[in-house]
Amino acid sequence: MHKFRYVIKGKKGIHLKPAGRLAKEAWKYESEIKMAKDSKSVTVTEPLAVIGLRVKCGDSVEIEINGADEVIACEGIKDFFENNL
């Protein structure tokens, strides 16, 4: 299992378009990728669930990655967050 925390920098937070792009990125990997805010956790391959977290600019989220390619997935998802969110 790999985990990292990230503070959202995008002015609009995570809305439908970035949630969809995040899901598309996550589908590249075999590992299960979850995002948690406060006490709620969702699978990032489900954009509507991600939107349900109501992540705003400045919010901190925790990403948890479990699976066969978790090291590569963690690097890819971290890069996605840094460049898109």
Determine how β-strand 60-66 pairs with β-strand 2-7: antiparallel
Do the Cβ atoms of 49 and 36 come closer than 8 Å? Answer: no
* C-alpha dihedral, 61 to 79 to 70 to 53, nearest 10°: 20
Domains in the chain: boundaries: 2-84
Fold of 2-84: Histidine-containing Protein; Chain: A; (3.30.1340)
2 is catalytic: no
Q: What is the pTM of this model?
A: 0.91
Active-site residue identified among 15, 21, 56, 78 = 15
Beta-carbon contacts of residue 39 (< 8 Å; ≥ 6 apart): none
pLDDT bracket for residue 41 (50, 70, 90): very high
How do residues 1-37 score in pLDDT, each as one tens digit?
A: 999 999 999 899 999 999 999 999 999 999 999 999 9
Q: What letter does residue 54 receive in the DSSP assignment?
A: -
